[in-house]
Amino acid sequence: MNTELVSRLDRKTGVIGIVGLGYVGLPLMLRYCEVGYKVIGFDIDQDKVRTLKAGKSYIEHISSKRVADVIGRNFDPTTDFSRASEVDALILCVPTPLNKYREPDLSFVINTMDSVLPYLHKSMVVSLESTTYPGTTEEELRPRIEKGGLTVGEDIFLVFSPEREDPGNSNFATRSIPKVCGGCTPACLEAGLALYRQVIDQVVPVSSTQVAELTKLLENIHRSVNIGLVNEMKMVADKMGIDIHEVIRAAATKPFGFVPYYPGPGIGGHCIPIDPFYLTWKAREYGMHTRFIELAGEINSSMPDYVIAKVAAALNGKSRSINGSKVLVLGIAYKKNVDDVRESPSVFLMERLREQGAKLAYSDPHIPTFPKMREHHFNLSSVALNAETVGSFDCVLLATDHDRFDYDLIKTKSRLLVDCRGRFSERDSNVIKA
């Protein structure tokens, strides 16, 4: 059974393997290293592995010092997946995007699993952390493992434990965010709890992998639906000439029954724009149509077009069109104070502005050069904000409200300022709320 494995994990003598060294895998690796485990990190990106081997970080809120402290001591990054044979636990932190039809794309999970299958062995635990639909662990991973001759729950132990990272959140770190864990069998769950309890303050066991999978989807759908609601409220309030941000501040004084959510130009990141579609897709298998969830998705997806219409109207009020106008986009990360552009609504805004002929530039103190992305391409670098720069643009569009922006400078020097984040008052003659 799993007694020997649990003992190795509890004594911190077990070797941990983490596949995918991005915003989820890298902080998780550091946490395991910092409490004394040996960690082998796997990634298909050779540039990432070279950077880590040099003791440097490629994620802004993770310092290079933390990486340098564990390289050569108890962390070994590699692109060689055959080294999975050396680990006692294998944690999969790979992307789960949508395909062009807005359906789940499990190719990263499946390809990763197929890559490590020849190197799986008895008395090890495999944990999937990538957000996915209920049934993925049992329907996709378990059959592949057992086809290789290992019986899940007896020879090898399989769990699902969804990641809950919130990049840039200084109030919560890997250690302090409770960890939900569900196993394919009771023995699997026991191994999963042993895997995480030395590095996470609170591990929350649930009865199955399906419960754990649906838990993560509920968390993110809850946010998506509430953001959709407040975005719709914003559009209604705008028609009525009411400042929605003042309304939210007032409502938030109620000490019960209300949680403040804030409108914006859309939703971004690796979870909120994607995860609801994993459930809507799976629900169709059961003859269910998730109307409420899909409506929120439609509202949130429409927000970039709403903002562009606001930009067009604002420029029109200055006797200009988007075509030929110089537009400066402030903030291209998906949320403030991070360097993450995955699914960022700012990028969608930039594409729509480019399609309509705008002369684009952006400023983001966290992203000096527009990164390589699978679907979005801009050959741009961040411009420095000063009085001359800001004043040279026909329109300044505040898309992501980083704390490092000089908002007094932006307000006083912008000819026309379109505000998606409620940072400015429409009492200023050059400000348009979007």
The first and second tokens of residue 220, run together, are: 């993110």
Burial of 239 (0-12, 13-18, 19+ CB in 10 A): exposed
In 362-383, which positions are buried (b, 16+ CB within 10 angstroms) versus exposed (e)?
bbbbbbeebeeeeebebeeebe
Task: For residue 380, give the DSSP letter.
Answer: -
Distance from C-alpha of 79 to C-alpha of 112, rounded to nearest angstrom: 12
Strands of the 89-92 sheet, one edge to the other: 75-78, 38-42, 15-19, 89-92, 124-128, 156-160, 179-183, 203-206
Per annotation, catalytic residue among 33, 271, 395, 420: 271
Contacts of 82 (CB under 8 A, 6+ apart): 118, 119
Question: Could you tell me where the beta strands, DSSP code E, fall in 347-416?
Answer: 359-363, 395-398
CA 176 centroid distance within chain: 18
Contacts of 229 (CB under 8 A, 6+ apart): 261, 296
**Is 184 annotated in the active site?**
no
Distance from C-alpha of 306 to C-alpha of 298, rounded to nearest angstrom: 12
Q: What positions carry a catalytic annotation?
A: 271
